[in-house]
């Protein structure tokens, strides 16, 4: 009598492994998308904080505007185009783009658009405008990232939304 596995047993095992790996790939893709959205929220917020600090250091107004897939900070009040101070770009991810919406009721003004927003130097405070936000979307799906400046806060808050901006979670 020979010992071993029948062909049917091998096919069943291989098909079960295929089903489990397909489920793993789908959840891995979702985790990658979620991490890209979180990174966008954190990186845009950090960049805007850096621009606010640079505005105070320069003691000059700085215009921040989204141009294509990058945020540019230039010297002078908006919409004037002065010398470039710095820029931030989404590198290696063509699915991230800026959204002109405010993404919800707690953001009064979108900082995305041709006119941009002016950061003004303030001693001991953030140079960022009193309130507003920049919203980033991932592809055509429901996942969004946002850098939010509230009226009663001195910092810019990174947030994410998994339902097209209906509900936001801080990071």
Closest CA to 143 of 159, 165, 162: 162
pTM passes above 0.75: yes
Q: Report pLDDT digits (tens) over 30-41.
A: 888 888 889 989
pLDDT-derived band at 112, boundaries 50, 70, 90 = confident
Q: How far apart are the first and last CA of the chain?
A: 64
Architecture field, domain 7-170: 3-Layer(bab) Sandwich (3.55)
Residues forming beta bridges with residue 29, ordered by sequence position: none
Q: Report pLDDT digits (tens) over 113-170.
A: 777 888 888 887 777 887 888 888 888 888 999 999 888 888 889 999 988 888 898 8
The domains of the chain are located at: 7-170
Q: Report pLDDT digits (tens) over 93-103.
A: 778 888 887 77
The residue ranking higher by pLDDT, 105 or 53, is: 53
């Amino acid at each position: 009598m020979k010992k071993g596995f029948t062909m049917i047993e091998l096919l069943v095992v291989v098909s079960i492994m295929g089903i489990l790996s397909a489920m793993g790939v789908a959840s891995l893709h979702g985790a990658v998308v979620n991490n890209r959205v979180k990174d966008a929220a954190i990186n845009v917020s950090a960049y805007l904080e850096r621009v606010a600090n640079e505005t105070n250091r320069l003691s000059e107004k700085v215009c921040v505007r989204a141009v294509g897939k990058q945020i540019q900070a230039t010297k002078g009040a908006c919409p004037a185009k002065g010398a470039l101070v710095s820029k931030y770009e989404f590198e290696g991810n063509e699915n991230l783009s800026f959204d002109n919406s405010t993404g919800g009721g707690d953001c009064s003004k979108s900082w995305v658009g041709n006119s941009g927003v002016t950061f003004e130097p303030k001693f001991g405070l953030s140079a960022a405008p009193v309130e507003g936000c920049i919203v980033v979307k991932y592809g055509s799906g429901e996942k969004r990232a946002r850098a939010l400046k509230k009226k009663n806060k001195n910092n810019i808050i990174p947030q994410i939304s998994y339902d097209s901006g209906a509900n936001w979670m801080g990071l």
